[in-house]
A and B are shown apart, each in its own frame.
Chain A
Amino acid sequence: MIRMEHVSKAYTTGNPAVNDITLEINQGEFVFIIGNSGAGKTTLFKLLLKELEPTSGTITVAGQDLGAMKRREIPKFRRNIGCVFQDFRLLQDRNLYDNIAFAQYVIEENPRVIKRAVPAALASVGLAEKYKALPSELSGGEQQRVALARALVNKPQLLMADEPTGNLDPQNAWEIMKLLEKINEDGTTVLVVTHNREIVDAMKKRVIMLEEGKIVSDVSEGGYSHEA
């Protein structure tokens, strides 16, 4: 699903944020990416989305070589990837239904498909009956579930979550993680950046740890404890 070979990314100032990373993630995997603040986790995600161009190295995602990809091919490519962020990034001016329908309109989906897919996506995160509510009327955990539903409604092959539980209490964090695990069990490759030690330790998934832009460990049934 993802292959990176000797990928580096240097912003104009300072040391490279991502430094000579080589890694492979297969279809259907669930991977935690951990590391201190500034280790390069978000930069890594942006490279995979082709929001940023690597300074050197090659990246292949979902069978496509990002370096060879033309600008106008980027939108189609991104439809393979769902994204979730720490700050939810919901549209505050519309209700849940419209927030999720938005994702489908954006990829020019057929309205008849949208009518069926949106309630199904909301149901899959347990918010079917709240479709009329505005994001501001929801708890943080509920908002993140909506964001998850929006990321999933277009049926991506790959889901990338950048600190999805960063703003949530432990119980809500767990709920989100369970949802991510379920999504993964249904066949979607899932990449999660997190600082949540307890969850990483408990879930026994592959853990990749970054430090100053380099991979310092990559363990198949790892935990945060490998840090030491």
Chain B
Amino acid sequence: MKLSAFMYSVRQGLKNIWRNKIFSLASVATMICCIMMFGIFYAIVANMNHVVQEAEQGVAVVVYFDEGTTEEQVAAIGDQIRAKTDIVSEVEYVSAEEAWIEFVGDYFKDNPELASGFEQDNPLANSNHYSIYLNDVAKQDELVKEIEQMEGVQRVDSNQMVADVLSDFNAVLGYFSMGIVVLLLAVAVFLISNTVAVGISVRKNEISIMKLIGATDFFVRAPFVIEGVVIGLVGSLLPITILYFIYKQVVQFVEMRFGFLTGIISFLPAGQIFGVLLPVGLLIGIGIGFLGSFLTIRKHLRV
């Protein structure tokens, strides 16, 4: 298609929208609602995920060794664990001395002199261990089983329940939001498709003349596809822009009013949220607009 023909299609597409104001407006409004809800949802889910991930960081798997395991063996185990970069985010070695110091700090804080009697004979002599932090708690179970098989490992402590709850929560949240978004998008496709169908019926006469004169199928269809895409574009750009400012306000408001929450909840910065939401939202909007008009054209414009 030549540029001039493309520009003609764009002009016709925009004219369609204008001539068909009421329906176009309804489609844009629905689109705005859909993308708005999608955006709100995404912002919530992303922040929840963020909170969950931070919680995940705190979950550690602890690996203890058999009595008499040499330092070389311990180091070898550490290397093996570190190699699992898809599950493990960090491996920390805690020696028996450090374990003792930590223990003293926790339990003899108020009277350290009581602990000094043990100095020559560390009661935690066998408590040197690895603390392993994961980047995906869902795979904790698998990791624990593997480490238990390793030579020189005595036992592996983990808190499976915390891991299970966190990963389940993540999954449920994901499915739930996916479900709602898919539903909303179906509504949007339906509405755009209706708008384009009205546009086609209004222009039946014009279309039949075009075909007689020798317009290609592509040329006949282009204005309607453009109509759908423009509706999708406006219907997604507008709510995302609005949402951007609302999000900033809300974060500011919550952090001011509910300062005590900051230890538990930390918001993702607006830039990070909208760095994803803007391209994804535009893609969805334009995609829905394209799909809605394309399907309708195929049904009603058998050229």
Distance in angstroms between the alpha carbons of A169 and B209 in the assembled complex: 25
Q: Which residues of B contact A72 (CB under 8 A)?
A: 216-217
Distance in angstroms between the alpha carbons of A216 and B77 in the assembled complex: 102
Interface SS, B side: helix
Instruction: From B2, B209, B214, B219, give the contact of A79 (CB < 8 A).
Output: B214
Q: Which residues of B contact A79 (CB under 8 A)?
A: 213-214
For window 117-150 of B, CB contacts with A under 8 Å fall at none
Would you call A89 an interface residue if the criterion is a C-beta within 8 Å of the partner chain's C-beta atoms? yes
Instruction: From B205, B206, B217, B219, give the contact of A108 (CB < 8 A).
Output: B219
Q: Whole-angstrom distance from the CB of A171 to the nearest CB of chain B? A: 27
Would you call B85 an interface residue if the criterion is a C-beta within 8 Å of the partner chain's C-beta atoms? no
Given contacts A108-B2, A108-B4, A110-B4, is CB(A78)–CB(B205) below 8 Å? no
Q: Which residues of B contact A89 (CB under 8 A)?
A: 205, 209
CB closest chain-B residue, reference A76: B214
Q: Whole-angstrom distance from the CB of A150 to the nearest CB of chain B? A: 8
Distance in angstroms between the alpha carbons of A77 and B211 in the assembled complex: 11
Distance in angstroms between the alpha carbons of A221 and B2 in the assembled complex: 47
CB closest chain-B residue, reference A80: B214
> Which of A5-13, A58-66, A99-107 lies on the face that meets chain B?
A99-107
- Could you tell me if B213 and A107 are in contact, using CB atoms closer than 8 angstroms? yes
- Mark B214-232 against chain A: 1 for CB-CB distance below 8 A, else 0: 1111010000000000000
Output the residue of A78, A83, A89, A108 with the most chain B CB within 10 A: A108
- Mark A47-74 against chain B: 1 for CB-CB distance below 8 A, else 0: 0010100000000000000000000100
- Could you tell me if A154 and B4 are in contact, using CB atoms closer than 8 angstroms? no
Instruction: From A75, A91, A103, A111, give the contact of B216 (CB < 8 A).
Output: A75
- Could you tell me if B212 and A49 are in contact, using CB atoms closer than 8 angstroms? yes
Instruction: From B2, B205, B214, give the contact of A91 (CB < 8 A).
Output: B205
Distance in angstroms between the alpha carbons of A106 and B8 in the assembled complex: 9
Would you call B165 an interface residue if the criterion is a C-beta within 8 Å of the partner chain's C-beta atoms? no
CB closest chain-B residue, reference A107: B214
Given contacts A105-B8, A106-B219, A108-B4, is CB(A91)–CB(B213) below 8 Å? no
Given contacts A91-B205, A105-B5, A105-B8, is CB(A78)–CB(B214) below 8 Å? yes
Residues of B whose CB lies within 8 Å of any CB of A are 1-2, 4-5, 8, 19, 205-206, 209-217, 219
Give the 3 A-B CB pairs with smallest separation, nearest first. Answer: A79-B214, A78-B214, A108-B5
16 examples of A-B residue contacts, CB within 8 angstroms: A51-B212, A72-B216, A75-B214, A75-B215, A78-B212, A79-B214, A91-B206, A91-B209, A102-B209, A103-B213, A107-B214, A108-B4, A108-B5, A108-B219, A110-B4, A111-B4
